Amino acid sequence: MLVTRSSTNASTLESPYFLQFGQDIRLPFETMVEPRRPFYNYDLNFHEEIITKIKETFRTVRDHLREAASRREVQYNRNSAPIRFRVGDKVYLKNEKRFLAPKKKFRSRYIGPYRITDRFNETTFKVVPNYGGKPQVTHANRLKPAKSLEEILEPLKQFINPDNPEGERAIRGGLRIKPDEPPQEVERANLTE
């Protein structure tokens, strides 16, 4: 407890003991090393000095906390991107019921597709299932843009050989297999040699 109370906080730049009592903690060995502090048993200005000292400390601590909050905000928003959905976009909706059902690892994380029909503000949208159903009002954090079939197949075009009309495809690092032929067995190297 002594270490926690006497160590300086990263946000306030003061120790909890100093914020509570208006002075740094005095350890037993400091009585031998440092000169004695003045006693305020009979001094009438003691209360006024402590109150002004604590008020000044709290003022500086408040400024330090504002700076720490702005640093945390910058750190939190560092990897965030603005949400850009428009009315008419196709989206998938996050499946919240997935975690209530047994064997949740086999359930789909997103359901849909849905279409955005209305926008209430920057982050709240009304979505309707494409194949009929009840409309829902949801936050943008639960939405994921739905891709068309062409957008999904675009990265796979590198594996399709456009020169061969028979449908020869390149798979697994350059092996070429025709649809009519069964896959060939690949000999494995003897690892004991």
Segment 69-95, tens digit of pLDDT: 999 999 988 887 777 888 988 999 988
The whole-angstrom distance between residue 104's C-alpha and the CA centroid of its chain comes to 22
Statement to judge: residues 168 and 178 lie in one domain: yes
CA distance 159 to 153: 10
* 83 domain-assigned: no
Statement to judge: residues 134 and 155 lie in one domain: no
Statement to judge: residues 37 and 102 lie in one domain: no
DSSP type of residue 160: B
Helix H or strand E segment including 63: helix 46-76
Domain count, the chain: 3
| Positive or negative torsion for Cα 158, 160, 162, 164 | positive
* 193 domain-assigned: no
Based on C-alpha coordinates, what's the Rg of the chain? 34
What pLDDT does 66 receive?
A: 92
* 55 domain-assigned: yes
pLDDT surpasses 70 at 177: no
Secondary structure (3-state) at 98? helix
Q: For 128-132, 153-157, 187-191, which range has the lowest pLDDT when averaged over its residues?
A: 187-191
Statement to judge: residues 63 and 21 lie in one domain: yes
Statement to judge: residues 154 and 125 lie in one domain: no
Statement to judge: residues 140 and 159 lie in one domain: no
Statement to judge: residues 57 and 119 lie in one domain: no
What are the angstrom distances between the C-alpha of 68 and each of 8, 54, 60, 170, 175?
14, 20, 12, 55, 57
* 50 domain-assigned: yes
Domain enclosing residue 158, as ranges: 148-184
CA distance 83 to 129: 21
Statement to judge: residues 113 and 164 lie in one domain: no
Q: How many CB atoms lie within 10 A of CB 126?
A: 16
Q: Are 64 and 118 in contact (CB under 8 A)?
A: no
Mean pLDDT of 8-21: 80
Q: Mean pLDDT across the chain, nearest whole number?
A: 76
Statement to judge: residues 180 and 124 lie in one domain: no
Q: Which two tokens stand for residue 75?
A: 């750190």
Statement to judge: residues 142 and 115 lie in one domain: yes
- CATH code of the domain in which 138 resides: 2.30.30.140
Statement to judge: residues 7 and 17 lie in one domain: yes
Residue labelled with tokens 């798979």: 171
